[in-house]
Amino acid sequence: MKYVLFLSRTERQLWSKDDRGWQRVSGEPKGPVWVVTDLAEESFAEIRTPRLFGRDRSSYIARQLASRYPDTPYRTCITPTQEGGVLGKIVPTRYILLGVDAAGRLGAELDAASHPVAGVWPVSMLLALLGQDRDLPADLFVVMPSLGALRIVFLKNRTPVLTRLTLTPNQASAQVEEIVRTQRHLENTQIVPRGRQDYSVLLLADPIEFEEPMAAAHLRLVSLHGWDTTQPADWHCPLFDLALRSPEGQVAPLARRVEYLSSRLNKAAMVLAAVIAVAGLGAVGNNSLSFLGMLGESRALAASIQNIDTRVAELDANIGRFGVTPDTVRRAVALHDEEIASVPAMDQHLRQISSVLAGDPNLRLKDLQWRLLAPAAVPCGVSQPEGAGGGEAAPPENQQRKVEITFELAVPAMYGPRDRAQTLRTISGQLAAMQGLVLWRDANTELASGSLRGGTDMGAAKNLVWCLTLPGTLPVAKDSAGAAKS
């Protein structure tokens, strides 16, 4: 439930709003109070300032407020619509001062209040806010009749420039005459141009009695959206609803609102603390779920390790029945895999060499050596090969064992230098064409170097030796596969 304290020139009313709407109540409020005043001492004043920034601008406006309203602390400044485009919005130079020169009565009422005061809003400012609706004309009279009085607020270009509270009888004709008198005052003070016709009036009352006198005075009645079909039960209620939104135009000094503002800050702090607590609980919950998941995985991993250890122990026990230790069996298995099972067959390599030498039946094999190379051994005792096979060698990650073959040929004595060189070139060419073969020593190359040196041994090398390496497992060529089938 929310409370509004309405202070007029003759009475003090306490209103409360619940699910049933606004009701006038007695006694003391049970929560914060919004104060709405309808006093004759309310007034507007327009000022213009240089283009100032920050503290200079606020200090200048504070001095202007103190100068215009020296006898009351219930004053404030509002910023209307500015001229000059974007620069006018960034650095305003036009302000409306609002004050209530009834410090004694307002101070006594607020001192007697037993509950926090949310703020004080003059009814002139609330009426001006109603009149700033975009559906209404920019130049507008906002009129609210009351018992024996009439409140008139005039807005020029949606900016309040004048407010009056007059003692006027509750007769439509007398109230319309007061509106016309206010119009003449505005024309005399050159706020509006003289001779303008058909001013608009927003009337917070039943318009039936006002239609004829307003038409005669060239005043046009306008209404807010919804008011033309359903009128409020009490015309103060829309103003009270507007005050509960805490709009601009609040005039009470900060000292009068400390308790209310501190309670709002406490509430905001409690809400923020609750949000942080909920977020913390959510984070803790997520961390707890993650921890439980990790704990479950750790338990599953420990069970797997225990199962593996059990199986290893069973294997060790089974190995122990053979009378040897498990380490001995492991070394034997490693020896078999690395040294025995990895030794390639010799016949494939010998058939490769014999296929090359079978082309000339007069050749004789003087010496042949077949050796399985260790992984880090240097083949043929040389660091660089003299020729390589036409196929690609095994990739570096392939740890296949290599075979070294060294053979020496005897060429018939009846071969002349030309036949001898042709035979050696043929043999070296066929060897180089084998896939995976790397030729480290080549008798043909040595013969050529000897021919260049010349001398008595020109064209005749004493030892015709080839040294080469082959993969442990030779790729099966298409021709050899077909020969094997035949």
- 324 and 367 inside one domain: no
Q: What is the CB neighbour count within 10 angstroms for residue 97?
A: 19
- 337 and 348 inside one domain: no
Last residue of a domain, one of 293, 321, 341: 341
3-state secondary structure of 208: helix
Question: Which residues are CB-contacts of 229 (< 8 A; sequence separation ≥ 6)?
Answer: none
- 479 and 351 inside one domain: yes
* Residue 142: exposure state from Cβ atoms within 10 A (0-12, 13-18, ≥19): buried
CA distances from 189 to 139, 183, 186 (A): 16, 10, 5
As for how many domains the chain has, the answer is 3
pTM of the model: 0.57
Domain assignment present for residue 166? The answer is no
- 352 and 471 inside one domain: yes
DSSP state of 343: P
Last residue of a domain, one of 85, 100, 121: 121
Domain assignment present for residue 196? The answer is no
* Residue 173: exposure state from Cβ atoms within 10 A (0-12, 13-18, ≥19): middle
List of the chain residues with pLDDT < 70: 386-400, 448-462, 474-486
- 336 and 380 inside one domain: no
- 458 and 352 inside one domain: yes
- 428 and 450 inside one domain: yes
Domain assignment present for residue 220? The answer is no
Q: Is the CB of residue 99 less than 8 Å from the CB of residue 81?
A: no
- The pLDDT, as a whole number, for residue 481 is 43
Domain assignment present for residue 295? The answer is yes
- The pLDDT, as a whole number, for residue 122 is 96
Pairing of strands 140-146, 199-203: parallel
Domain assignment present for residue 387? The answer is yes
The single-letter code of the amino acid at 101 is D
Secondary structure tally for the chain: helices H, strands E: 13, 18
- 377 and 336 inside one domain: no
- 282 and 354 inside one domain: no
- 360 and 446 inside one domain: yes
* Residue range(s) defining the domain that contains residue 80: 1-121
Laid out side by side, the sheet with 2-8 consists of: 21-25, 12-18, 2-8, 33-38, 117-122
Domain harbouring 13, CATH code: 3.30.420.380
- 458-472 pLDDT, tens digit per residue, is 444 568 999 999 887
